[in-house]
Chains A and B, each alone.
Chain A
Amino acid sequence: MRITCPHCGNRGLEEFTYTQDAERTRPTDGGATPTPEWADYIYLRDNLKGPRKEYWYHSAGCHAWLIVERDVSTHEILSVRLP
């Protein structure tokens, strides 16, 4: 698989680290209160087929965090952008 980093260009998979899906929205700070929104954000994943937004880190490159839209059933990269 190859990802086109907006800074570095087209690079091999081994330069990148997948971390988590980018479909969820991080709750805003609501104080020291463990709300259900936080629990959902941290623990729940949908794991759906088809195009998904994911966070990838260009760990062996420019250290940019990227939002990569990837079809998880074909590995086709549909778009890459900075957050």
Chain B
Amino acid sequence: MTGFRLAQGGLVDRASPVKFHFDGKAYTGFAGDTLASALLASGVKLVGRSFKYHLPRGVFASGSEEPNALVELRAGAWREPNTRATMAEIFEGLEAASQNRGPSLKYDPLAVNNLLSPFLSAGFYYKTFMWPASFWEKLYEPMIRRAAGLGRNAGLPDPDIYEKTTEFCDVLVIGAGAEGIEAATQAAATGQRVILCDENAPLVPIDLPAGVEFLARTTVFGVYDGGTYAALQRLTDHLPSSNAPRQRLVRIVAGRSVLATGALERPIAFGNNDLPGVMLSRAVGDYVTRYGVAPGRNILLYLNNDDAAGLIPVLHQAGVNIAGVVDARPASSDVVHEAARAANAPVYAGAAIIRATGWQGVSGAKIRLAKGGDLALPCDIIAVSGGFNPNLALTSHFDGKPVWDAAIAAFVPGSLPPCMSVVGKAAGQGLNANIQPVFHSGFFPGKSFLDLQNDVTVKDVKLAEQEGFAAVEHLKRYTTLGMATDQGKTSNVNAIGVLAQTLGKGIGETGTTRFRPPYVPVAIGALAGAHTGKEFKPTRLTPTHEWAAGLGAVFVETGLWLRAQYFPKPGEDWLAAAQREVNAVRNAVGICDVTTLGKIDIQGPDAAIFLERVYTNSWANLPVGKVRYGLMLREDGFVMDDGTTARLGETHFVMTTTTANAARVMQHLEFCAQVIWKELDVSLISVTDQWGQIAVAGPKSAATLAKIVDSPFDLSDEAFPYMACMELTVCGGVPARLFRISFSGERAYELAVPSRQADALARALMQAGAEFGIAPYGTEALGIMRIEKGHPAGPELNGQTSAHDLGMGKLLSKKKEFIGRAMAARPALTAPIRQTLVGLRPVNPQDIIRAGSHLLPVGAPAVAASDQGHVTSAARSPTLGSIALALLENGPARHGETLRVYDPLRGGDFTAIVTHPVHLDPEGHRLHA
């Protein structure tokens, strides 16, 4: 027999063989096997190398607490390191590889670290790599990075798909052992909705009543506020790679929870206890009963409690020889004696294992007998049990501190998260019969491991204590004990036990560390879910997006929106296209989708009073059918936003906000209406998405619109002057709103139609304006024209500018209450030294001013102390050349002055003349052209 698969027994499907590869070699297991059980069945004991010393390691446990058997699964971009072989179900074609090793698993040159171990003791980073400082970056860090760490990242984008969902239930039961199934069944019997989660897939179907939703392969890894639990459901990790989602992050909202996670076994430390073949006793039993695999043929048991004696009949019935039972208790117990007698196994009461012997695997053990004297026992597996620890990690996610129960020599749950109860072994019930706590056999001077994953030994703990790191939390950080991917599930309690012995204190006094989420490692991809790449945030498209795309528009992201930036014709770059678009608007007519501006519908008897209070300027006197520009401050007196608001009726207004501030202004207005002035009868709703709005600008705008506006609506200047608005129909009955407002400085209109009609409207306008040379324009042309007109926008409304700074001090009414009124009156907000809005033109027309450049007095040194302001917005006007807006100290008094424009980042250094911010048509004649 070359394999270790038993002739019968286990719950795997022996009719379904599964082929897989480990380190390139082909193996066969059965459906239902984990990688660990299949490798053990094939006689593979060496599965990895340890973190620090690169010592050979084998399978130690049978569940998610596994510290040793970490492997890389799959290949290429799918490669995932640090997967526990005990949790990986095999499937046809699975490729697995050992990790953290040299060229081959058997011969690892870095195992020399083991000889250097006197230098790699507790705190070795802090002690060893101290000087000279210059060595750190060049030598120490690259060396440590190469030698340390576990598996290799794929180094490629994660090709898998992940999902996130939220589930609701009355009762969440965590753990589908007998206790969990019982709790779920009872809760369902009272009509409650139950979710039952288990880390593993059941090897036999579980019989559950209706009302219980069972999530297999689902680990609850965190407990959060308000009865919220985070769980990771592994959907296809047990299947060959496909396009199906790999894992699902399930947020479970539960009225209450029942923790039925059982207990995890802890070992007893002894010399060379990290050799492949040293395993937890229950894991050995699991491999026999679940998988029909005997991890060895001659197994030595080392225990200090009666629970572990259950392994004896299991092995005996499976026909596995028991080399002996080393019982740390002086008299052993009847339970052990009887079981051993039935199995013809010798019992060594009051004995201890000094060390395991063997090269790359256990071949025997040296034991110290109770009456003195040593004995060498041949064996191929040492099954060890130092007792069981309630699996209580989730109970301390709410700051609950486990408490030591001396009667069972284990930590049991302390204060629990709200609405959680703990049942069965997780609560410490029925655990550790007749235990006599032993954490370390104590006779071996060399390495006895506590934390197998981070290579922390008994000696390291003692050394840390000597060096002053005697508090549990200090010990953890100094030695890295319990800080590996297994979070010390099999090592923490033993380390505390050894520390307590060293300190001569009780374990309860010595204390424990608290567990934090996540209970198991969680892939970042699962936390991200679908929110990766372009799906990281939503993309908002304007209603004319397809129309613009059809014209070859280049789009730009503005917040969440994608807006047409410019519409290039063949051979045009962005500047040529934008300048052509500006010329079309200035000389004929252009159209631009302005849907992205925030639109807020404001209605109610007190709507006008409301606007009086949120805007700085006067609103009560605005006639129906008119539009007005409004300025809004924050409570601290600085400018928040601006825009136009139209009065459609006595009690009905439509406000526009800037694109960037739409959501912020909505939130602010809701606060004003619901909190500050809740006595006002006013209602608000965002209608940004409901109305598609298109600007029609240029001297031919009225002529273009006239062709699509239905009769009898009148666009003449007498009937519909500048700053007028009306509700009307266009294109034969489409309801619309028309506003005669202008951002470009030309005669212009903005026409709003229900969003689904906006695309057709854009096409109709293009047709109507064709005879005038109509052109669509994008945000670049829009920007050039608003800078030509000196309108402040995002770069000027930067949250640090006051109305005075923007030249709008006159808009602060002196006759009424408004948000920001008191604080805007602070003298510092109107001081002349403040940086205020000006225009800028280069002295030499060849120079191009760039936004972000700093403004210095001519001849002053380019240092921060000379800085007097900066360029906020810059444009290349087709008619004026390089122009800019800037914020400049005492700006209005300095028109005509020459300044140094300094841009060290991009190499700009030239002079420019300060001007009025309105570069074009300051009298506003073009609005009526």
Contact = CB atoms under 8 A, between A and B. Distances in A.
A2 to B, nearest CB: 3
Most chain B CB within a 10 A radius of its CB, from A17, A63, A75, A76:
A63
A34 B817 CA distance: 13
A65 B668 CA distance: 10
A5 B20 CA distance: 53
A76 B759 CA distance: 49
Interface string A41-83: 1110000000000010101000111000000000111000011
Interface residues of B, number: 30
Contacts of A38: 822-823
Nearest to B168: A10
A59 B668 CA distance: 11
Interface string B387-423: 0000000000000000000000000000000100000
Interface stretch (B109-117, B219-227, B902-910): B219-227
A56 to B, nearest CB: 11
B228 interface: yes
B670 A1 contact: no
Contact of B226 (A1, A19, A59): A1
Interface in B686-703: none
Given A2-B253, A12-B166, A17-B667, A32 B822 contact: yes
A31 B822 contact: yes
Interface string B816-841: 01000111111000000000000000
Given A12-B166, A32-B822, A57-B670, A26 B676 contact: yes
Given A12-B166, A63-B670, A83-B678, A30 B228 contact: no
A1 B228 CA distance: 7
Interface in B799-819: 812, 814, 817
Contacts of B224: 1
Contacts of A1: 224-226, 228
A67 B253 CA distance: 23
Contacts of B670: 57, 63, 65
A57 B483 CA distance: 39
B1 interface: no
Contacts of B225: 1-2, 75-76
Nearest to B634: A42
A32 B667 contact: no
Interface in B668-686: 670-671, 674-676, 678
B674 A30 contact: no
A34 B635 CA distance: 11
B636 interface: yes
Most chain A CB within a 10 A radius of its CB, from B666, B667, B670, B675:
B675
B821 A65 contact: no
Nearest to A58: B670
A61 B637 CA distance: 30
Given A12-B166, A34-B826, A83-B674, A42 B821 contact: no
B675 A55 contact: yes
A59 to B, nearest CB: 7
Contacts of B253: 2, 10, 12
Contacts of B166: 12
Nearest to B812: A32
A31 B821 contact: yes
A83 B675 CA distance: 6
A64 B166 CA distance: 23
Given A2-B227, A59-B667, A42 B674 contact: no
Nearest to A32: B825
B813 to A, nearest CB: 9
A29 B671 contact: no
Interface of A: 1-2, 10, 12-13, 17, 19, 26-27, 29-35, 38-39, 41-43, 55, 57, 59, 63-65, 75-77, 82-83
30 contacts: A1-B224, A1-B226, A1-B228, A2-B226, A10-B253, A29-B817, A29-B821, A29-B822, A31-B821, A31-B822, A32-B814, A32-B821, A32-B825, A34-B637, A34-B823, A38-B823, A39-B823, A42-B635, A42-B636, A55-B671, A57-B667, A57-B670, A57-B671, A59-B663, A64-B674, A65-B670, A65-B671, A76-B225, A83-B675, A83-B678
Interface of B: 166, 224-228, 251, 253, 418, 635-637, 663, 666-667, 670-671, 674-676, 678, 812, 814, 817, 821-826
Given A2-B228, A32-B821, 7 more contacts: A1-B228, A2-B226, A2-B253, A30-B822, A32-B824, A57-B667, A83-B678
